[in-house]
A and B are shown apart, each in its own frame.
Chain A
Amino acid sequence: MDFVGKRNFNFINNRRLVYMISALIILVGIISIIFQGFNYGIDFAGGTILQIKFDEPVSIEEVRNNLGEFNLSSSTIQDLSDTEFIIRTEKIDQEKRKEILSTFRDKIADLELLRVETVGPVIGENLKKTALYAILFAFVGIIIYITVRFEFRYSIISILALSHDCLVVLGIFSLFQKEITIPIIAAVLTIVGYSLNNTIVILDRLRENIKFKTRESFENIVNLSINQSLSRTINTALTTVLPVLAIYFFGGSILSDFALALFIGMVAGTYSSIFIASPLLVDWRNISKEKHRHGQTAKEKVKKTKRKTKGK
């Protein structure tokens, strides 16, 4: 069975349109990030989360009204079912929390405290820094590795593609004001790895084809490499997205946003490795050709003519 094996799609000719679409999505995301910013979860912003389960069905309004007594009525309240709620407030101490819970018990219904998370603002600020370092560390590590194994140009292309994927995820999370928590950062880093994985498989094919198919134009070789890897790219995307969807639908409330971030990132990653990474290489080559035409050293001239004679 073969979904895509025999077809030969042209990914290179339509690349400008694809760039436009991606640029648009990212632009919207960046505008949202600049003007709305992120909705940082308590991991980063500090605060308290209470996950509670009442013995009987309760409405959000009831919970909110009772929080009003503590000047916390503006807290975020999410209902997981008609008995289970997640309440996010500013950072409150043990004493106040006890008072809130006993008020709930007295005025609403008996309850079980399933989870408490309290993070002070200092810890959150530190964490922002470490998160940034981790992403930078990953980027630098990847640039070095790809430069060593392939070439510098490939590493820059890969970084562009995965920046695209990260920006899509972060942009969407900002746009819909979904919480940025530690698991979301973990998802972004996973996407970095995943997106790269896809890009590399295609680049690796390209590297091989450049060696053996010296008679083809660069555009055609790139296009061929994408097509040859296509059924793998799609199958791998499917097999990684399936479990992520399983986490999203069955993994419980704590993991669902994490799975959502992974899902968006994987779709973006698959898309960017096919439509953006390798086509960008074609553009890069064209641009450097232009430059060469204007001013070039004798050495490069020789190289280019060599390549030309080989290519035609």
Chain B
Amino acid sequence: MNFTKTARIASVFIVIAVAVIFAFPLDEKINLGLDLQGGSHVILECKDSPNALVDDDAVQRVLEIIRNRVDQLGVSEPVIQRQGNNRILVQLPGIDDPETAVDLIGRTALLEFKDAKGNTLLTGAHLLNAKETFDQFGRPIVTIEFDKIGATEFSNATSGNVGKVLAITLDDKEISAPVVQEPILDGQARITGSFSVDSAKQLALLLRSGALPVKVEILENRSVGPTLGKDSIDKGVKAGLIGLLLILVFMVFYYRKFGLIADFSLVICMLIIVGALAGFKFTLTLPGIAGMILTIGMAVDANILIFERIKEELKLGKTFRASIDAGFNKAFRTIFDANVTTLIAAIALLYFGTGSIRGFAVTLSIGIVASMFTAIVVTKIILELFSVKANSKILN
């Protein structure tokens, strides 16, 4: 055994070891996409309205308010990014109720107090705090507290409307319309309405984070509930295992011992792909799983090319060892050219891809590189080890 061979064997073991360290335990190390763990991907656009035009400052404030709302929802690792001039990308992984979350994010949440004629007397701009709580009958309500300016405005508003209705509206929808009993001077108010515990909580959250300065429209929303996400993982894994099993069996059936070697390489290849996914912190999406399954098929292709070549060389009457060398040499260029062109297509996809499809391009690209490595390095080493045995048999 010469030096380069030892080095090659060592490199294979190192690659495998690194992959295993990166990849396991799988459920902690693999970063799942929104479509697998459940969650929302939302693109919002700030829109001009008659009383508020979109400018840089407005978008920046919207960004902050949305961040504030998301923080209060308790989402771990959210993404909130500005895209271009007036778009905002929000990604909320792992939330149980994407529906409500998206709803909360996009709401303007403009709180207004209006007199009987419909004039706005004050808004929620000078709120200090808002809390959900219960009234004496155990019904959910929201209490609000104004800052100094707000308290003055509020006391003016209530003083001027004793005995009259003072409607409380959110985004022009009436929440409740209480009759003012007496002026409220301390800046404390309570909003009663037909709240559930959840809706009271949501209103308090919206009021605390403040109203958006401009109208916001949802351009794109892709939300997956946790049930479907889990279901997708289960189905993806099942399809993958069945695909893998079919190929393992096919290879042994058709190529016998060679097939076993290819199967061994294939398993190592999968290990490397998973390791690379985890190591580079790529996100695994449902199309990504499909990419991996597809790679299973493509990975054995390089082995097939090599084996077919070796078979041909053996037919020419060469020794086992010489056939292996010739087979690999001749197959190498083919494998390389064929894989580079596939890689070009995968890179095009990476450039074009949005969200989950990018995950497909990523696993496909990693798969191509990993499969070349395993076919050219791993398969060859095993074959060489075999050939030593075969030769010694012949010699004996």
Contacts and interface: CB of A to CB of B under 8 A. Distances in A.
A241 B297 contact: yes
B242 A200 contact: no
B110 interface: no
Contact of A116 (B221, B337, B346): B221
B305 A232 contact: yes
Nearest to A114: B228
B361 interface: yes
Interface string A12-45: 0000000000000000000000000000000000
Interface string B312-341: 100000000000000000100110011111
B242 A250 contact: yes
A118 to B, nearest CB: 4
A113 B338 contact: no
A114 B222 CA distance: 11
Interface in B189-241: 217-225, 227-228, 231-232, 235-236, 238-240
A287 interface: no
A295 interface: no
Q: Is the interface of B mostly helix, strand, loop or mixed?
A: helix
Contacts of A98: 99, 103
Chain B: interface size category? 35 or more
B346 A236 contact: no
B342 interface: yes
A145 interface: yes
A308 B188 CA distance: 101
Contacts of B238: 250-251
A145 B341 contact: yes
A94 B250 contact: no
A169 interface: no
Contact of B287 (A113, A238, A246, A255): A255
A67 interface: no
A114 B224 contact: yes
Interface string A134-146: 1101100110011
B220 A123 contact: yes
Given A197-B338, A200-B334, A250-B239, A243 B294 contact: yes
A104 B353 CA distance: 35
A1 B98 CA distance: 55
A170 interface: no
Nearest to A258: B290
Interface string A115-129: 111111011000100
A102 B74 CA distance: 26
A134 B352 contact: yes
B122 interface: no
A239 interface: yes
Contact of B223 (A115, A186, A235, A236): A115
B352 A200 contact: no
B6 to A, nearest CB: 32
Contacts of A146: 341
B357 interface: yes
B349 A112 contact: no
B239 A246 contact: yes
A51 interface: yes
Interface residues of A, number: 72
Nearest to A124: B220
Contacts of B221: 116-118
A131 B353 CA distance: 8
A66 interface: no
A119 B220 contact: yes
Interface string A236-270: 10111111111101111011001100100000000
Given A114-B224, A242-B246, A186 B342 contact: no
Q: Is the interface of A mostly helix, strand, loop or mixed?
A: helix
A196 B354 CA distance: 24
A176 interface: no
Interface string B79-106: 0000000000000000000110011001
Nearest to B35: A254
Contacts of A149: 337
A200 B349 contact: no
B220 to A, nearest CB: 5
Contact of A254 (B43, B286, B346): B286
A204 B333 contact: yes
A208 interface: yes
Given A193-B345, A251-B235, A243 B246 contact: yes
Given A114-B227, A244-B297, A255-B287, A201 B348 contact: no
Interface hub of B221, B308, B341 (most chain A Cβ within 10 A): B341
A302 to B, nearest CB: 31
Interface in A195-253: 196-198, 200-201, 204-205, 208, 228, 231-232, 235-236, 238-247, 249-252
A141 B348 CA distance: 9
A242 B239 contact: no
Interface in A82-111: 93-94, 98
A180 interface: no
A130 B351 CA distance: 9
Scoring B236, B293, B344 by chain A CB atoms within 10 A of each residue's CB, the highest score goes to B344
A217 to B, nearest CB: 22
B298 interface: yes
B301 interface: yes
Closest 5 CB pairs of A and B: A243-B243, A134-B352, A193-B345, A240-B297, A193-B342
20 contacts: A5-B311, A94-B102, A112-B227, A116-B221, A123-B43, A141-B344, A182-B357, A185-B352, A193-B341, A197-B338, A198-B338, A204-B334, A204-B337, A239-B297, A239-B301, A239-B304, A246-B293, A249-B239, A250-B239, A251-B235
Given A201-B334, A204-B333, A236-B300, 4 more contacts: A98-B103, A137-B352, A228-B312, A241-B297
Interface of A: 1, 5, 51, 53, 93-94, 98, 112-120, 122-123, 127, 130-131, 133-135, 137-138, 141-142, 145-146, 149, 182-183, 185-186, 189-190, 192-194, 196-198, 200-201, 204-205, 208, 228, 231-232, 235-236, 238-247, 249-252, 254-255, 258-259, 262
